[in-house]
Amino acid sequence: MFHQTDVRTLQPGLTPFPTDVFAHDQPWLADHLLPLIAIDLGLLRPELAGRVATLLCPIEPYEGCLGDGTEAHHTPFTSSNWLAFELDADNRLRFLGNEGYFQRAPQNRDALPVDEDLRAHAADMQDSHARARAHFQQYGMLVSGMDVDDDERQQQAYLGNLGGPFWYGNWTGYTRIPSAFVIEDLAGTTQRGTLHFRNSSDHLPDDGIRITRDGEPFFHVADVAAYNWCANGADAILMFYEPRSRTVLFTFDWS
């Protein structure tokens, strides 16, 4: 199994700040999601060479989880803290939901008006992403968009993990996975009084975590802290892939 941690050196197949990553009939995705780094899946599985999935950072949430408050627009492929895409033949991501999933979508202006805190947060995320991109284009180094003018700015890792196994964390049970998918914790729990304790998963592959769509398993592609790139965000953006359906699945760990 290919596994690289703390990725600070780019190799062929890793492209920071990619462009033209969304399905052309879903241009509004660019209003809600920031492209971080394109990853050729052949780095992890040679038979998938040429399939390129892009790690995305959502602009929302300011508080809570992505998708909170927009339940009326959720689909079998979206829920709070989870969203999925199909990777098309041109390596563009097609959202398997609708724009109303995002709080700032036009569909939500009456039912869920955008407050000033969320508006300011969105502006900070977009501006910091643009500043980090400009710094990378000039210097070839990733620096958090909040630190580009700091004399003591430090290089950030492009990825915390590239490949490697699943890992158990808050994300596994923080919210319910969309109904199109199944997540299992094969470690199980032991009850002691009224409390349940997770059993050791040291002997299990993928830390005991398994995610499937129609019985087909996902594998872990990559994860990174959002604030390596942008002003704020999750402690880990996690991206998974299921080859048969070409599904790219995202969730977020808040430690």
d(CA 200, CA 81): 26
pLDDT tens track for 25-37: 999 999 999 999 9
CA 81 to centroid of chain Cα atoms: 10
In the block, residue with structure tokens 């990777």:
87
Of the candidates 66, 77, 85, the one whose C-alpha atom is nearest the C-alpha of residue 221 is: 85
Average pLDDT over residues 134-143: 93
DSSP string, 184-208: EETT-EEEETTEEEEPP-TTSGGGG
pLDDT tens track for 172-192: 988 999 999 999 999 999 989
Of the candidates 138, 144, 174, 139, the one whose C-alpha atom is nearest the C-alpha of residue 156 is: 144
For 246, the 3-state DSSP assignment is coil
Q: What integer pLDDT is reported at residue 111 of this predicted model? A: 74
Q: What integer pLDDT is reported at residue 112 of this predicted model? A: 74
pLDDT above 70: residue 151? no
For 193, the 3-state DSSP assignment is coil
Average pLDDT over residues 244-255: 96
Q: Which two tokens stand for residue 125?
A: 């995320």
130: phi then psi, degrees, rounded to nearest 5: -65, -40
Q: What integer pLDDT is reported at residue 148 of this predicted model? A: 67
pLDDT tens track for 101-135: 999 999 888 777 778 899 999 999 999 999 999 99
β-pairing, 209-213 vs 195-198, is unpaired
Average pLDDT over residues 149-176: 90
For 39, the 3-state DSSP assignment is strand
Instruction: Give pTM, 2 decimals.
Output: 0.95
d(CA 183, CA 196): 18
In the block, residue with structure tokens 């009084």:
193
**Sequence-distant (≥ 6) Cβ neighbours of residue 233 within 8 angstroms:** 57, 58, 125, 225, 226, 227, 252
Q: What integer pLDDT is reported at residue 195 of this predicted model? A: 87
Is-contact 131 150, C-beta < 8 A?
no
Q: What total of structural domains would you count in the chain? A: 1
pLDDT band for position 197 (cuts 50, 70, 90): confident
92 Ramachandran zone, left/alpha/beta (phi>0; psi -120 to 50) = beta
- Residues in a beta bridge with 212: 182, 217
pLDDT above 90: residue 248? yes
User: Which residue range(s) make up the domain with 160?
Assistant: 3-253
Of the candidates 247, 52, 36, 62, the one whose C-alpha atom is nearest the C-alpha of residue 160 is: 36
Q: What integer pLDDT is reported at residue 5 of this predicted model? A: 98
Q: What is the DSSP letter of 214?
A: T
